[in-house]
Copies of this chain bind each other. A is one copy, B any other.
Amino acid sequence: MNDKRQDKVTITEVAKHAGVSTATAGRVLGGYGYSRQEIKDKVRQAAEELGYRPNLLARGLITGKTKTIGVVAGDIQSPFYASILRGVADVTRAAGFGILLTNSDEQIERELEAVQLLREKQVDGLIIAPSDLSGSKHLQAAVRDGCPVVLIDRAIKNLAADAVCVDNRAASRDCITRLTEAGHRRIGLIAELERWEGGDITDFLSAVEGSALDSSTLFPSWQRLYGYIDALRSAGLPIDPDLIGRVGVYSSEGARKETQRLLEWSERPTALFTADGLMSAAAMDVITSLDLQIPRDLSLICFDDLDWMSFIKPGIAAVVQPLTEMGEAAARLMLSRIAGDDSAPQYLALQPKFAARGSIAAPLSS
């Protein structure tokens, strides 16, 4: 009852027990260096008997590798990050790596703390959904120090790091085009659209007009707005800023308010496009409480496929992001960087699938 301390079985004890040096014991147990089969057996048996367990801290201290990668997610509670993390975990686990997880809640201060902690814990690399797409001295520092960084879901302008994203602009454009082709001329958008360094929606519209905008380093919801604009322009339709529901924060309440504004409007849109899962759930809530029939009264397409979209009333058409695949791709990139690959940073833009369902119809008036 007194020996409930740590497992004090060290490699020295095993060596003593097996009658060899610690160096030899280390070689067979650690799987480096050479040794006779006879010795191997003896050492392994001693280790077994004593219940030896390697101390990965000590190993990491000397090798400089921890076989651990740090992950900074926005909020692991959201299906979005949960799925990505699952992909990361599967690939890293298969390679014998552990993952050290933190949530940033999309706040840069939290991200800074997280990255600092992870780096102090000597992770071999950082997979991160960055909260800020401009400054990020901490990520620059990581890259400079040789700590591999893989960005997820969004890219940073001048950072020499891999990024695994989704082609938000194209996917969004595709959705809106489906709606215009169905005959819709007034299509509402509900999107987060929190911060854009260039200003407000009007500024964004002009910037897009001037086409001097790199969509790959925008936050996803802005990329989706970009695709919305693309599609309307291709269809020769005007862009009514009042149809753009800018929620401004990532909140259900805000999304509900914006949806209400659009749908209770006398000139309400005949179709709606929601730019992410949270917005979709909030919008759906408003739609059912207003007793609007989909697709008779309103066509609907959602970005992100939530489970209820397949079994609710007529089915809700959705953009299916390859989330687990994103995580897997990010992890694979990370592993190859850790393995020494120092080729140019890769920007991976995965293509989402489209789940066509019964929520799209021609507008009533037409």
Contacts and interface: CB of A to CB of B under 8 A. Distances in A.
Contact of A7 (B118, B145, B306, B307): B145
B103 A100 contact: no
A94 to B, nearest CB: 11
Most B Cβ at <10 Å: residue of A99, A146, A284, A307 = A307
B4 A145 contact: yes
A5 B118 CA distance: 17
Contacts of A307: 281, 306, 308
B82 A4 contact: no
Nearest to A288: B311
Interface string A67-85: 0100000011111001101
Interface residues of A, number: 59
B89 A4 contact: no
Interface stretch (A49-57, A149-157, A175-183, A261-269): A49-57
Interface in A284-327: 284-285, 288-289, 306-308, 310-313, 324
B54 A120 contact: yes
Most B Cβ at <10 Å: residue of A89, A116, A313 = A89
Interface in A244-290: 281, 284-285, 288-289
A66 interface: yes
A237 interface: no
Contacts of A58: 61
Nearest to A123: B98
Given A98-B117, A312-B312, 13 more contacts: A55-B122, A56-B120, A56-B122, A57-B66, A68-B100, A76-B85, A77-B83, A79-B79, A82-B82, A96-B117, A281-B307, A306-B308, A308-B308
